Structure 1
Amino acid sequence: MLFVRRVALCLPLVLIACKPEPASSQPDASPTTEATAAESPADDFVWVNDRFADIQILRYQIPGFDELDLQRKQLLYYLSQAALAGRDITYDQKFAGNLTVRKTLEAIVRGYEGDREAPEFQALMTYTKRVWFANGVHHHYSGKKFEPGFSREFFAATVNSLDPATLPQTLPSATAASGGEAADAAALLAYLEPILFDPNYEAKRTNRDPKADPVADSANNFYGEGVTAEAVEAFYKKKADPNDPTPISWGLNSKLVLENGELVEKTWYADGMYGPAIQEIVKWLVKARSVAENDQQRAVLEKLIAYYNSGDLADFDAYNIAWVQDTKSQVDTVNGFIEVYDDALGYRGSWEAVVSVKDREASERIAAISGQAQWFEDNSPLIEAHKKKNVVGVSAKVITVVVEAGDAAPSTPIGINLPNANWIRAQHGSKSVNLGNIVEAYEHAKSGNGQLEEFTFDDAELARAQEFGGLAHKLHVDMHEVIGHASGQINPGVGTPKETLKQYASALEEGRADLVGLYYIMDPKLVELGLMPSLEVGKAAYDEYIRNGLMVQLTRLEPGEDVEESHMRNRQLVAAWAYEQGKAKGVIERVQKDGKTYFVVRDYDELRVLFGQLLRELQRIKSEGDFEAGKALIETYGVEVDPQIHAEVLERNAALDIPPYSGFIQPKLVPVMEGDAIVDVKVEYPDDFAAQMLEYSETYGYL
């Protein structure tokens, strides 16, 4: 994995509640493009009156923004513009037709003159919101293509009724998101018809089925027509040197296509593919550089600008090294080609951005963990040869998010650990952050939704979860990020996990990081450090992990589906393996009570031993590049779902009316101008998801 570790991805440890609302909850679908600012009481702030499909839209606040000095406000504003400028890139990366679909849908939302309350138009609005939320036509988590609730006939008639000038004028070319072949309405409809209405056409964004070709059978736009996984692996095998101590992150910022029978990389940089959007990102980064907090931060921004201008991955490494070393700046940003989850082979990074400011007070908790990184490494159950003898520069903090974009929005991470190049982490260190205000918004949203009461076995488990569950979750996320991803080392000459573990690398890595957190959350060391009052916090963490991994997270799957998403696979792997391995000793018991199933932890100490054993094995697999062992673990424990348990979980959760996914409307930074000078920056909190998406498309539609 490259650059960022995402745990909202880990957020499904808890599912997000939805505020009771009328059955007809679709927002006004009028073609306005101005997001409105809302004043809401703090207790109700996270709720937004928009729920569609399996999604609840929330908000988050930026506490302390008004108290920042003007320089930092300006810096945050410029960085937020650099973030939003790249959002179109993410759409195109996830599927070549996404921008054409989105622009057509937005033309309908703005220009439709029929009955907006009619069922087919409402179904089209729901579909449009799902596309906005997922940055494309495939589900943001499962990767399965959406099915429209409206007919071909309605869609065709609606498109034909619009002013042709409002529709996309070109169709996607093979290598550029800006369009190639000219299109009229008829050509546009012919192009869109299979995308929207043929469930078998480009059905999965990322296909991890071991019987499929993870490149040719995936719908993402990372590879050109005719490119296969075998060809990709051979292409990068020629580039990679397993003995290179500082390997380049090959393929991170390019599309690999066939030209005249030869594989060619189309690099994503200012003068290449996605150039118009990247040039706009650079423009705002240059402005940000002019108001940097200090020389070190200014140097970091200069290196990021240089990388975007050159497309050279060596420049990306130089930027990451400088970024890791900047630990004093209060304002920070992640901006680039980052996550590799959407590429089953783990080469290509999805574009995303997170802009933040440090929460100094809340950072004390997470800093206490990073300060003991070597102790945690020395006392881990890993094979001695797989331990780092000198853990370098693990810095950690809690941040207040200001804006997110691309693959980080509207569905967001709650923890980040980067950079992901193993050699940079080993030689220069890493940064781990907890997205404090995002976590608080999620915690507020789930409070009192009834799910905890439904899936806890007895009063003792419920009371422990209510008293210690919040702290347990925060500590587990902290340790996942700070000491989890930073732990262990790869044997010399083995190669990177994306080369050795391939399509299983992401799930195995997330499982490894989860297990580090699970192993240590039952360690008295955390009590000694003052991070938790007693081991009851660790017990609450174990209860929650088993409860979620074996049951609650199944609310995200439709009947008959296997587990596809890497983080869900990792949680089921860890929980199911521990359950099976501990059966003989009764470590976790499957219990029936009042006709309902529960998985109850009976021996917490023995469960910790099991977690340590699995952690040792996952690190061995990573250190030695043991593909077959990794595949066996994932396919045996992490993929298949017990249909009876699944049906029961869905039935029990349906009675609670809780959507399994949540995401956020973004705050809006508004500069206060005097002539050409910014004299202040204000924060507005929009409350209309559709309006914000339309505004973004008009303001930041660079591709």
Structure 2
Amino acid sequence: MKKLLLLIPALYLMSSCGTTSVSQSNQVPVNVDKYTSFTLTTDLSQLSANERKMLPYLMKAADIMNELFWYEAYGKKNALLDYLKGDAKKFAEINYGPWDRLAGNKSFVKGISDKPLGANFYPTNMTKEEFEAANLKDGNSLYTFVRRDLEGNLYTIPYHVMFEPEVKMAADYLRQAARYADDPGLKNYLLKRADAFLTDEYYESDLAWMDMKDNGIDIVIGPIETYEDALYGQKAAHEAYILVKDKEWSKRLEKYADFLPELQKNLPVNAKYKQETPGSDSDLNAYDVIYYAGDCNAGSKTIAINLPNDEQVQLEKGTRRLQLKNAMQAKFDKILVPISNELVTPEQRKHVKFDAFFANTMFHEVAHGLGIKNTVNDKGSVREALKEHASALEEGKADILGLYMVNQLLKKGELEGDIKDYMVTFMAGIFRSVRFGASSAHGKANMIRFNFFKEKNAFTQKADGTYQVNFDQMEVAMNELSELILELQGNGDYEGVEELVNTKGIIPADLQADLQRLNDAGIPVDVVFNQGMQYLK
């Protein structure tokens, strides 16, 4: 019986949602040029000799996250890539499957349907009613797959069992890297993270990661975000970032986390929706990212991180906010500025600035720590109550409260600049992000905000097709949307959020026409990376 149980994971590795055979004649034309390339590098002279020795081991561990995410997203990677040719193959590698992540996860391979909401975390023929009726042990766990046994019954299998050889190898690479860790906090984190891979128990390693303060090199690795599970929003997907701290920029940022308790108290919402106190150990740092793998490397690329996601860790320790400065600069120069030249009214283009883009992105991550993590009416955590809509609403909250924080800190004299810079750059950022499509959590959040702002006259589209920010109305809309989102989260109002997503989380025809102008102008949608040891100097 033990042998049979061990064989079942291997059988499912060979039979997943994306194993339809395809030939070159079945390939739909793709536009690889919607991505522009950028080389990830940093000045290695700022690292110690031992830190440089760690990098190959960390990259090998990250490469394993790549393979695990391919399975979570699609299934049989090699079966797909062996059939595809040319641009279609390259496009599949960018998207980790046969679905265009920047076009609503539509299939670009004939014979393969559009992406299942549950990716490869669940059987594709499973209904929500069947899953809920099964009442599976650990069915709602972040770290289990749902599968069918030979009789067709649903059961769960933990990640560390499904991926046993791979996670053992990843753990070994982290332990080898830990041998060269000069910083005790980094060494402790790597060893605890290695142990967590073998058990799917990440709490202790999350605490260890929060306790790191002086390390020059960092790695975010493991099953982390739940965006890939669009069915329930509860299965975490594997990813990795390898990072080198920008100590000069980090020094400029360190003071802002201290304002979290005061900003929480002043949120524009009833007191019961801000009764939680943000963790006191939250910190902000800027990094050069030198390696992406897995979930964060699929389709649109992350430029800032706010972790851990564990609500218990957040309440105890807060979170760490990591700004990926080099990747952010690439998106600003290659994408945001050209978008602004097309869609922002000429008189306001002078307000589109990198420092404002950096701050808006940074305070988005800080704002994840504001508001409430548990409902006020005993519906459990916000994530549990809002299910598949939790991620979209949380991203919307972070976006709008990030701008709220900028406005408050400017008024206090704690942030430099003109609110017009931040607001116009924020508006341009909506156009950049909404091009990722309205199917993702970030895409829905952007569309809700765009449509809400439009209703509140926060911007005006002029006769020449460009957009002008109306600054006073923007501030009013910012406060009203903040209040709405915080109340929906605090009440665990699933039906209210669903209505908001269905009515405002869509791209209207006039905006779609504007986005097509950007495509016609040849402005890329996102970036792909040249990365690895060969690009580091």
The TM-score, its normalising length taken from structure 1, stands at 0.67
Structure 2 counterpart of 1:87, from 47, 57, 66: 66
Contact 1:252–1:348 (Cα < 8 Å) also in 2: yes
Verify: 1:440 aligned to 2:329, yes or no: yes
The correspondence of residues 350-389 of structure 1 with structure 2, limited to 5 A, is: 350-389=237-276
How has the CA–CA distance of structure 1 residues 448 and 89 changed in structure 2, closer, same or farther, with 3 Å as cutoff? same
Q: Is the 8 A contact 1:491 1:623 kept in 2?
A: yes
Q: Indicate whether 1:319 and 2:205 are aligned.
A: yes
Distance in 1 (alpha carbons) for counterparts of 2:233 and 2:519: 35
Rate the CA distance shift 1:488–1:237 in 2: closer, same or farther, 3 A: farther
Distance 2:433 2:528 in 1: 17
How far apart, in 2, do the equivalents of 1:235 and 1:568 lie? 32
Amino acid at match of 1:101: L
Q: Structure 2 residue aligned with 1:255, among 129, 145, 160?
A: 145
Secondary structure of the structure 2 residue equivalent to 1:662:
strand
Whichever residue aligns with residue 51 of structure 2, its letter is R
Which one of 517, 522, 525 corresponds to residue 657 of structure 1?
522
Give the equivalent residue in structure 1 for 2:15: none
Task: Report the equivalent of 1:204.
Answer: 115
Residue 600, structure 1, aligned to residue 486, structure 2: no
Give the corresponding residue for 2:6.
none
- Aligned residue type for 2:126: V
Distance 2:495 2:103 in 1: 24
2:38 to 43, 54, 59: 59
SS in 2 for 1:361: helix
- Equivalenced residue count is 503
Between the two proteins, what is the percent identity of the paired residues?
A: 21
Give, in angstroms, the shift of residue 430 of structure 1: 1.0
Q: Say if 1:590 and 1:599, in contact at 8 Å, map to a contact too.
A: yes
- Write the letter of the residue equivalent to 1:668: M
Q: Please state how far the C-alpha of 1:655 moved relative to its aligned partner.
A: 4.1
Map of 2:233 onto structure 1: 346
2:397 is aligned, of 495, 512, 517, to 512
Higher helix share: 2
How far the C-alpha of 1:221 sits from its partner, in A, is 0.7
Are the aligned partners of 2:43 and 2:536 in contact in 1 as well (CA < 8 Å)?
no
- Equivalent residues of 2:143, 2:223 under 8 A apart: yes
1:12-411 alignment to 2 at 5 Å?
A: 52-105=31-84, 124-147=85-108, 196-198=109-111, 201-206=112-117, 215=118, 220-224=119-123, 226-233=125-132, 250-259=140-149, 260=151, 262-269=153-160, 272-311=161-200, 315-344=201-230, 345-392=232-279, 393-409=281-297, 411=300
Cα shift readout 1:550-592 (whole Å, capped 9, x = no counterpart): xx656556xxxxx322211111101211221x24xxx433332
Cα contact 1:227–1:257 (8 A) shared by 2: no
Whole-angstrom CA distance in 2 between matches of 1:203 and 1:543: 31
The equivalences for 1:453-464 within 5 A come to 453-457=341-345, 459-464=346-351
SS of aligned partner of 1:58: strand
Q: Does 1:642 align with 2:508?
A: yes
Deviation of the 1:80 alpha carbon: 1.6
Give the structure-2-normalised TM-score: 0.87
Distance of aligned partners of 1:420 and 1:363 in 2 relative to their CA distance in 1, 3 Å threshold: same
Tell me, yes or no, if the aligned pair for 1:366 and 1:396 is still in contact at 8 Å.
Answer: yes
- Which residue in the other structure is 1:668 paired with? 533
Report the Cα distance in structure 2 between the residues aligned to 1:438 and 1:572, rounded to whole angstroms.
Answer: 24
Q: Rg larger in 1 or in 2?
A: 1
Deviation at 1:413, TM superposition (A): 0.8
Retained in 2: the 8 A contact 1:142–1:565?
Answer: no
**Superposed CA offset, 1:651-694 (max 9, x none):** x324422232322121326xxxxxxxxxxxxx558xxxxxxxxx
Q: Summarize the Cα distance change of 1:324–1:231 in structure 2 as closer, same or farther, 3 Å threshold.
A: farther
Equivalent residues in 2 for 1:548-627, closer than 5 Å:
548-549=430-431, 563-580=438-455, 582-583=456-457, 587-593=458-464, 597-602=465-470, 604-627=471-494
Check the 8 A contact 1:369/1:479 in 2, yes or no.
no
Question: CA offsets, 1:101-145, max 9 Å, x none?
Answer: 12444xxxxxxxxxxxxxxxxxx3010000111111112334524
Q: Which amino acid aligns with 2:211?
A: Q
Contact kept, 8 Å, 1:554 with 1:646, in 2: the verdict is no
**Which amino acid letter does the alignment assign opposite residue 266 of structure 2?**
N
CA contact (8 A) 1:83 1:405 kept: yes
Which residue type is aligned with residue 356 of structure 1? L
Give the conservation status (yes or no) of the 8 Å contact 1:398–1:435: yes
Cα-to-partner distance string for 1:331-381 (whole Å, 9 max, x where unaligned): 211111112111121111111001112111111333232121112112211
Q: CA deviation at 1:54?
A: 4.2
